[in-house]
């Protein structure tokens, strides 16, 4: 069964649909979603993408991400994918959106109108090994320091999201008072 993405214009108005891999080969602008989940300590849940992913395998990224299916509302898709990738759901709220285009070594192109959702969760994720190799909670300040020192360890869209968050939500990036990175959970 083929997956299809929603093609959009620069105002996020749907203009058609296309098979997902074809859209990534042609670099067509399509709707996407990224989810960031925070715990009560203000840490962000990251996932290390599965090594079997069609692009950016093994890189660290936001809690979950995907594409809404044709006819699917972005919030519904975000909730669905969070459950499929990380094994839990929570109330999600859209925070902002942006457009980016990135070329990958394997010839694929991500050209996305990305809707960014925030949620909260204090439990233990049950990651889907087909989607994620590992996950960890990390303080936003520590995360930005690591992104700046090792940007190649993170997906391009996640680096953009974090830059936008640093501009929009500077209070999240207050100086840390204690070691705040928890150990990585692996399957």
User: Does residue 76 have an active-site annotation?
Assistant: no
Q: Which of 43, 85, 110, 112 is catalytic?
A: 112
User: Does residue 135 have an active-site annotation?
Assistant: no
Give, for 116, the enclosing helix (H) or strand (E): strand 109-120
Which residues are 115's β-sheet partners? Answer: 33, 97
Residue 22 near residue 54 (C-beta atoms within 8 A):
no
24 backbone φψ class: left, alpha, beta (φ>0; ψ -120 to 50): alpha
C-beta atoms surrounding 145 within 10 Å: 13
| 181, two tokens | 């990175």
Q: Which of 43, 65, 110, 131 is catalytic?
A: 65
Active site residues: 65, 112
């Amino acid at each position: 069964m083929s997956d299809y993405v929603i093609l959009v214009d620069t105002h996020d108005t749907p203009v058609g649909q296309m098979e997902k891999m074809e859209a990534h080969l042609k670099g067509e602008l399509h709707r996407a979603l990224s989810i960031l989940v925070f715990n009560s300590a203000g840490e962000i849940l990251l996932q290390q993408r599965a090594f079997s992913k069609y692009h950016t395998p093994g890189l660290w990224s936001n809690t979950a991400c995907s594409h809404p299916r044709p006819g699917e509302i972005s919030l519904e898709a975000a909730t669905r994918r969070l459950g499929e990738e990380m094994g839990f759901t929570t109330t999600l709220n859209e925070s902002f959106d942006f457009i980016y285009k990135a070329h990958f070594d394997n010839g694929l192109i991500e050209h996305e109108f990305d809707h960014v959702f925030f949620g909260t969760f204090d439990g233990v994720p049950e990651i889907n090994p087909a989607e994620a190799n590992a996950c960890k909670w990390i303080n936003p300040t520590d995360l930005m320091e690591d992104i700046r020192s090792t940007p190649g360890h993170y997906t391009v869209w996640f680096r953009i999201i974090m830059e936008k968050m640093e501009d929009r939500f500077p209070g999240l990036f207050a100086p840390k008072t204690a070691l705040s990175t928890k150990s990585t959970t692996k399957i």
